[in-house]
């Protein structure tokens, strides 16, 4: 094992590399690169599936498409540089790109939060009244939600990164003080509170919406059990559609639960460190961050396990059948 060396030779205030054995370094690179490949490939499958197959052109799936695009950006533009930084324990790409990298990281993460929040609202209306919900969630409403899901995070990141507010009374959020080659994001008290509220408010709204969804789903299940065989055509259609909507709501609820488990540690850590002026060890802070990154790879896996339509679209894409024949009108909801 090599002794600790500076990230930049002959530069005062340079960060120092964390000594790693060659085997440890290689294992870290392989593991993290495979995780990034899973993130990119899984979200590419979601993007292609929803873009290509006409039956998936619905408000829910378009919101999922925008969510997958945010996770795809993390996999392509954020994770490769984060992998090098965490394994080498140095940032070699300059201060300006560090700012861009950190801003993109936060923007895409917050975009995921807002999209999941909007999906929970959309699922509530879909489950509570499946027959009239399409009249409420029109194309204009969908466009508005997608725009808000991106504009609010981008605006927040712009204020955080480039305004004078960011420059006042900064506190460190990891153990070591800033040094050349660290690329660590810092927050003042005001921005930390705003950052935490941007997480807490949508999260609370998501929990509230899904609590109502599960209450409605339970009532509908009891109603279905009490209905006799002689039902009208409208009632049969409502039952069939309601069953599908509840299944989608349950699966997306699992996605939100996974999001909460992955992202809450890092949000709480940043808030506690900044507000109470305490220090988190570097290794623990990095662990929290990579747990949050894992969420970008997790959603496609959840779809693969719980959505038969996603498994079918992946099969058609991987076998390149969509390149030889037009499968865009394929019936993906055969059950």
- Domain-located, residue 105: yes
CA 198 – CA 195 distance, rounded (Å): 5
Q: How far is CA 91 from CA 43, 96, 107, 207, 270, in A?
A: 27, 12, 20, 38, 21
- Residue 117 resides in a domain: yes
Which pLDDT does position 40 carry in this prediction? 95
Torsion of CA 299, 301, 305, 309, to 10 degrees: 70
Whole-angstrom distance, CA of residue 303 vs CA of residue 298: 9
In eight-state DSSP terms, residue 90 is S
On whether residue 218 sits in a domain, the answer given is: yes
β-sheet bridge partners, residue 187: 171
Q: How far apart are CA 212 and CA 128, in angstroms?
A: 9
The separation between the first and the last C-alpha atoms of the chain, rounded to the nearest angstrom, is: 58
Phi, psi of 43 (to 5 degrees): -75, -30
Total of domains in the chain: 1
What was the pLDDT predicted at 185? 64
Considering the domain boundaries, does residue 4 fall inside one?
no
Phi first, then psi, for residue 16 (nearest 5°) are -110, 140
- Does residue 9 sit in helix, strand or coil? coil
H or E element, residue 270: helix 233-276
pTM for the full predicted model: 0.81
Could you list the residue range(s) of the whole structural domain that residue 209 is in?
Answer: 22-320
Residue 173: closest CA among 101, 277, 47 = 277
On whether residue 248 sits in a domain, the answer given is: yes
Is residue 329 assigned to a domain?
A: no
Buried b (16+ CB within 10 A) or exposed e, 180-196: bbbbbbbbbeebbeebb
- The sign one gets for the Cα dihedral 6, 21, 40, 334 is negative
Mean pLDDT, contiguous 10-residue spans, the chain (335 residues)? 72 82 92 93 93 88 91 93 90 87 88 85 80 80 91 85 51 51 70 75 82 74 58 53 58 73 82 76 83 85 77 90 88 72
Query: Which pLDDT value is given to residue 229?
Result: 46
Q: Which two tokens stand for residue 313?
A: 């679209």
CA distance 242 to 227: 14
* 2: in domain: no
**Is the Cβ–Cβ distance between 171 and 274 less than 8 Å?**
yes
Domain annotation covers residue 6: no
SS3 14: strand
Q: For the domain that residue 293 is a member of, what is the CATH number?
A: 1.20.1070.10
Instruction: Give the start-end residues of each E strand in 80-191.
Output: none
């Amino acid at each position: 094992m090599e002794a600790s060396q500076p990230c930049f030779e002959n530069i005062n205030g340079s960060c120092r590399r964390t000594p790693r054995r060659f085997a440890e370094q290689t294992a870290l690179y392989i593991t993290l690169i495979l995780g990034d490949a899973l993130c990119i490939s899984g979200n590419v499958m979601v993007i292609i599936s929803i873009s290509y197959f006409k039956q998936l052109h619905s408000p829910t799936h378009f919101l999922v498409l925008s969510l997958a695009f945010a996770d795809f950006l993390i996999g392509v533009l954020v994770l490769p540089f984060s992998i090098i930084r965490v394994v080498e324990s140095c940032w070699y790409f300059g201060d300006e790109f560090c700012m861009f990298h950190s801003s993109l990281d936060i923007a895409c993460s917050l975009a995921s939060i807002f999209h999941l929040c909007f999906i929970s609202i959309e699922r509530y209306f879909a489950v509570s009244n499946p027959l009239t919900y399409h009249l409420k969630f029109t194309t204009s409403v969908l466009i508005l939600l997608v725009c808000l899901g991106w504009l609010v995070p981008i605006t927040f990141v712009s204020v955080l990164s480039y305004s004078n507010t960011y420059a006042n009374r900064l506190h460190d959020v990891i153990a070591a003080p800033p040094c050349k080659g660290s690329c660590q994001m810092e927050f003042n008290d005001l921005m930390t509170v705003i950052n935490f509220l941007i997480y807490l408010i949508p999260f609370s709204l998501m929990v509230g919406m899904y609590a109502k969804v599960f209450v409605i789903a339970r009532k509908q299940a009891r109603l279905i059990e009490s209905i006799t065989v002689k039902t009208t055509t409208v009632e049969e259609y409502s039952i069939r559609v309601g069953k599908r909507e509840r299944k989608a709501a349950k699966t997306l609820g699992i996605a939100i639960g996974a999001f909460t488990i992955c992202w809450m540690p890092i949000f709480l850590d940043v808030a506690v460190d900044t507000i109470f002026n305490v220090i988190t060890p570097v290794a623990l802070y990095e662990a929290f961050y990579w747990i949050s990154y894992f969420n970008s790879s997790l959603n496609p896996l959840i779809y693969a396990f719980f959505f038969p339509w996603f498994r079918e679209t992946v099969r058609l894409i991987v076998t390149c059948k969509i390149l030889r024949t037009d499968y865009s009108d394929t019936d993906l909801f055969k059950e």
